[in-house]
Amino acid sequence: MNFPRIIFFALLLLAPTFIFAQQDMDQDGIADELDFDADNDGIPNYIEQAYPLADQDGDGLANYLDLDSDNDGISDLVEAGMLDQNGNGQVDDFIDEDLDGWHDYAQLDLAQLDVDQDGLPAFLDLDFNGDGQADLWLWNDMELDRDENGQVDNFRDLDQDGFDDRFDGDLFNIQMPGESRNTPQKYISLQNRLLQQATTSMNSCKKADEYGLCYDNQL
Taking only the tens place, the pLDDT of each residue in 182-208 is 555 667 667 667 766 665 544 455 555
Give how many domains the chain has, as a whole number. Answer: 1
Q: Is 146 among the domain residues?
A: yes
Per-residue pLDDT of the chain in tens (219 residues, 90 and over written 9) = 555 555 555 555 555 544 445 798 888 889 999 999 999 999 999 999 999 999 999 999 999 999 999 999 999 998 888 878 888 889 888 888 888 888 888 877 677 888 888 999 999 999 988 989 999 998 888 888 999 999 999 999 988 999 998 888 877 655 444 444 555 566 766 766 776 666 554 445 555 554 444 444 443
Q: Is 17 among the domain residues?
A: no
Q: Is 114 among the domain residues?
A: yes
Q: Is 19 among the domain residues?
A: no
| Residue-number span of the structural domain to which 207 is assigned | 24-219
Q: Is the dihedral of CA 170, 174, 176, 179 positive or negative?
A: negative
Residue 37: how many CA atoms within 13 Å on its side-chain side? 27
Q: Is 72 among the domain residues?
A: yes
Backbone angles phi, psi at 135, to 5 degrees: -55, -40
Q: Is 219 among the domain residues?
A: yes
Q: Is 5 among the domain residues?
A: no
pTM of the model: 0.74
Q: Is 171 among the domain residues?
A: yes
